[in-house]
Amino acid sequence: MMVVVAYDVKTETPQGRRRLRLVAKACIKFGQRVQNSVFECLVSPSDLLILKDELTQIIDPEQDSLRFYNLGAKYSNRIDYIGQVRHLPMDEVMMI
Amino acid sequence: MMVVVAYDVKTETPQGRRRLRLVAKACIKFGQRVQNSVFECLVSPSDLLILKDELTQIIDPEQDSLRFYNLGAKYSNRIDYIGQVRHLPMDEVMMI
C-alpha cells in the first residue's frame, strides 16, 4: 500500500536539524522523497509499523508533526500533481 | 471527499514568497492547514477543479511543486498522526 508521510520538524536548534535529517533517513528506506517534507512510501502493514515506531523515537512530539495518509493498494488514481516532479514512479524504479 | 494538498514553493525571491502566500490563501478557502505546506481540504469534485485551476495560475511550474492526494469520502481511517496537531477535525468545525 502507498502511504504518504508529511512532516514538520522545528529546525531552530541543532537538535531539530538533526531530527529532520533522521526523519528523512528513516523515510528514504521505505519510499521516495517527492517534496522537501513529503515522502511517498510503498509499504506493507508491518513495514508501516516499523517506520512509525522509528519516527516516533526520532521526533520531539512537543515540537514536531508527522502525518500519515494511507492511499491503499490502488493508489495511482489518488495522486495528482502540478509543476515540478522530484521522483520516479515507484514501480519503474523497482523494476530496474 | 478529502484531498490533501502538499506544496513546495521556491521562496528565494519576493515573487516566490508571494506565490507561497497566495497558495495558502487559495487552500484555506477549502480546508485546514495541518502543516506548514500541507492542507487537508474537504471538497466536492467541482471544488477540486476550481482549487486546482486557481493553484495552477498561482504557481511557477518550473520551480514549484503541488501534489494532491485524494483520500475519498471515507477518509478518517486513512489519516494518522504523531506529535503536534495544528487543526480541528473538519466535521466539528463545520457543525459549530
Q: What is the pLDDT of residues B8-38, one digit of tens each?
A: 999 999 999 999 999 999 999 999 999 999 9
Which of A63, A47, A48, A46 lies closest to B78 in space, CA to CA? A48
Min Cα–Cα distance to chain B from A15, Å: 16
Spell out the residues 6+ positions from residue B69 whose beta carbon is closer than 8 angstroms to its own: A4, A69, A71, A78, A79, B3, B4, B6
CB within 8 Å: A66 and B60: no
Q: Is the pLDDT of residue A94 over 90?
A: no
Q: Specify the fold of A2-75.
A: Alpha-Beta Plaits (3.30.70)
**CB of A4 less than 8 A from some CB of B:** yes
Of residues B93 and A2, more confidently modeled: A2
What whole-number distance in Å separates Cα of residue B62 and Cα of residue B60? 5
Backbone angles phi, psi at A77, to 5 degrees: -85, 5
Q: Residue B85: what pLDDT?
A: 85
Q: In percent, how much of chain B has pLDDT > 70? A: 90
Chain A nearest-CA residue for B60: A83
Query: Do the chains contact at B65 and A55, CB–CB below 8 Å?
Result: no
Closest partner residue to A82 (CB to CB) among B4, B55, B86 is B55
CB contact under 8 A, A84 and B69: no
% of chain A surpassing 90 pLDDT: 86
Domain ranges of chain A: 2-75
**pLDDT for A87:** 58
Q: What are phi and psi of A33, to 5 degrees?
A: -85, 120
Is the ipTM reported for this complex over the cut 0.95? no
pLDDT of B73 = 95
| Biggest CA pair distance of chain B | 41
What pTM did the predictor assign?
A: 0.89
CB of A14 within 8 Å of a chain B CB? The answer is no
Average pLDDT over all residues of chain A: 89
Confirm or reject contact between B48 and chain A (CB < 8 A). Answer: no
Q: Give me the sign of the Cα torsion angle A35, B33, A15, B14.
A: positive
pLDDT above 70: residue B84: yes
Inform me whether the pLDDT recorded for A95 exceeds 90: no
B8 is in an annotated binding site: yes
* Residue in A4, A36, A69 closest to B8 by CB: A36
Q: Are strands A38-42 and A2-8 parallel, antiparallel or unpaired?
A: antiparallel
Residues B66, A56: C-beta atoms closer than 8 Å: no
**Interval A23-52: pLDDT, tens:** 999 999 999 999 999 999 999 999 999 999
Under 8 Å CB-to-CB from B38, ≥6 apart: which residues?
A6, A8, A38, A67, B4, B5, B6, B7
Percent of chain B whose pLDDT exceeds 90: 86
pLDDT in tens, B61-74: 999 999 999 999 99
